[in-house]
Amino acid sequence: MQHRTHTCNELRLSDAGKTVELCGWLENVRVVSGSLAFAILRDFYGTTQLVLETEEMLAAFRDLNKESTIAVKGVVRERDSKNPKIPTGDIEVVPQTMEVLGRCRYNQLPFQVNRSREADETLRLKYRYLDLRNPAVKENIIMRCNVVAALRQAMISHGFLEITTPILTASSPEGARDYLVPARKHPGKFYALPQAPQQFKQLLMTSGFDRYFQIAPCFRDEDARGDRSPGEFYQLDMEMAFASQEDVFAVLEDVLPPIFAQYGKYSRASGAPFRRIPYLEALERYGTDKPDLRIDLEIQDVTRLMEGCGFGPFEGNVVKAVVVSDMTATRKQIDKLCADVEVVAGAKPYWFRLDEKGEIAGGIAKFLQDRKDKVISALGLKPGCFVGLSAGNLGAAQKTAGVLLKQLGALCPNHMDAEQYSFCWIVDFPMYEIGEESGELEFCHNPFSMPNGGLEILQKAAAGEVDPLSIMAYQYDLVCNGVELSSGAVRNHDPEIMIEAFQLVRLGEEDVKAKFPAMYNAFCYGAPPHAGIAPGVDRMVMLLAGEDSIREVIPFPMNKNAQDLLMGAPSEVEQKQLDELHIALVKDE
């Protein structure tokens, strides 16, 4: 068995004179002369400089390609030219022997390991084992391990039991596409990988367990984006019996801030209690249900103020405004800002500013001259103020203004306290909405949520006494720096309330029993009130590491097309396997 006395990050000046054994990867060799060269040896922990002072040793290293794994035995000595940038910068090792443990057989690497983040992502994912040798890439995975360990320890200290739930389960309508697994012993039937342990954790509550959690793998066949990985992801799944919304909030407000402050890029994190913002208020004030509270800007409604100004896009539409004081952006920066907002929001923003002379100028200024004083007074404008505007129906105007607000915050550092983690709860989500495709009443978020008002409000809605769209649910989202970390809810644990809730979306009692048989039957045996939430681990670590892409914090991520370039998945399988599973492939004409 290979032996090492020290790691490549361990030796110090006090070790000078010792004979040591090191193992690692050959990162680089710099030849100075025919009998002198310097080599860098790297392992998981760090790097150590080797000095090659004989022709024999230099020849042995010259035959090696970079990234070969080697073992050296040699003497530690003080360096003449010290490197204060690394912990081992005061010493070097003069090898007496060198053994090749794993030879790199390629002269040309797909990319420089210590600069792999500059390489094309396709190459990085295909050669992920090389990419992960880069200390900058590896640090994110180490952080992930530490964060998961801290989350687990914190949950256990709060009296939660870690219980694993099944991976092979039944398909259920939970909002995304299932990954299906054919059942060999049951031709024509399929298991599904869980989109979340939602039903199982609620069943645990009905089973008499009081506090459950797990670092749960979840599987959803959905498209990738910057903060969402296709295929699989992990969440801190938790559920509490005999609990209210306040109980769930109290646990996470105690668990998360210390972890964010300890492991995050920023040392400041919101303390308890987190700010709570009703869903409809969030849309009105921030244009999104994922507000970034590091930005001190808010949206104002200026529909009546702009009415009849003669600017076509405002006529008959809702108009929203974002006012920014002391904005020094150039016209070029403003044009880029507007173009970026249009790309993200799908609608064009408008603007004007109040110049140093107190005159409305730029953008749509010519349409506002007849009401200049009224506009200045209503918006509280002072010289140097910039006003961004959006128009459309209520949803479109809010969305565009929300994107505009976020872009303005990034452009104006005096309006964004960036170096912190700012948490908030979004509460009071509507129970129902009108579906964009169906045009009919549908559940807005989670169909298993408890409506605010219980059975009585649902019965009134069924009788036409209450508008179903006005019913709020005990649903909540946890948001940090404009990123949704999690959705949760107080659960609907009463079969009678569940039936009434589903009937409003045209699903009867038999439909509920057919779609959710285990949960419905379990609730009929007396279920406790319960509530839970499941913050995404991947998104959490992405925020802590200050990364823009979630793939940077996942050890072996898929690409944007849900392909594993390293393992070649998804892949074709042999006909024998298909036959065993009773599957026939139908090729497109």
- 13-102 and 295-415 in the same fold: no
Closest CA to 518 of 432, 448, 449, 431: 448
Query: Is-above-0.85 flag for pTM?
Result: yes
Tell me the pLDDT of the chain (589 aa) as tens digits. 568 999 999 999 999 999 999 999 999 999 998 789 999 999 999 999 999 999 899 999 988 999 999 999 999 999 999 999 999 999 999 999 999 999 999 999 999 999 999 999 999 999 999 999 999 999 999 999 999 999 999 999 999 999 999 999 998 766 678 999 999 999 999 999 999 999 999 999 999 999 999 999 999 988 777 667 788 999 999 999 999 999 999 999 999 999 999 999 998 999 999 999 999 999 999 999 999 999 999 999 999 999 999 999 999 999 999 999 989 888 999 999 999 999 999 999 999 999 999 999 999 999 999 999 999 999 999 999 999 999 999 999 999 999 999 999 999 999 999 999 999 999 999 999 998 888 899 998 778 899 999 999 999 999 999 999 999 999 999 999 999 999 999 999 999 999 999 999 998 889 888 888 888 999 999 999 999 999 999 999 999 999 999 999 999 999 989 999 999 999 999 999 999 999 999 887 7
Residue 486 Cα to chain centre, angstroms: 10
Taking the CA atoms of 157, 163, 164 and 170 in sequence, report the sign of the dihedral they define: negative
3-state secondary structure of 203: helix
Name 527's Cβ contacts closer than 8 Å, sequence gap at least 6: 202, 205, 206, 493, 494
CA pair distance 128, 175, nearest whole angstrom: 32
Return the HEC string of 285-308: HHCCCCCCCCECCCEEECHHHHCC
Q: Is 60 exposed, middle or buried (0-12, 13-18, 19+ CB in 10 A)?
A: middle
Fold of 13-102: OB fold (Dihydrolipoamide Acetyltransferase, E2P) (2.40.50)
Per the listing, tokens 């306290």 go with 417
Within 10 angstroms of residue 221's Cβ, the number of other Cβ atoms is 14
Closest CA to 161 of 196, 194, 206, 204: 204
Per the listing, tokens 């499941």 go with 534
In degrees rounded to 5, what are phi and psi of residue 41?
-105, 130
**What is the model's pLDDT at position 284?**
97
Q: Any idea where the domains of the chain sit in the sequence?
A: 13-102, 295-415
Within 10 angstroms of residue 175's Cβ, the number of other Cβ atoms is 12
CA pair distance 456, 71, nearest whole angstrom: 74
Q: What's the Cα-to-Cα distance from 55 to each of 37, 95, 100, 107, 128, rounded to whole Å? A: 10, 12, 18, 22, 36
H/E element holding 192? strand 190-192
**What is the model's pLDDT at position 175?**
65
Residue 523 Cα to chain centre, angstroms: 33
3-state secondary structure of 584: coil
What is the total residue count of the chain? 589
Tokens of 286: 């921030």
CA pair distance 86, 97, nearest whole angstrom: 25
Tokens of 321: 């405004």
What single string gives the DSSP state of each residue in 406-463? HHHHHH-GGGB--SSB-EEEEEEEESEEE-TTT-SEEESS-TTBPBTTHHHHHHHHHT
Helices (H) and strands (E) in the chain, counts: 17, 22
**What is the model's pLDDT at position 402?**
97
CATH architecture of 295-415: 2-Layer Sandwich (3.30)
The letter for the amino acid at 181 is V
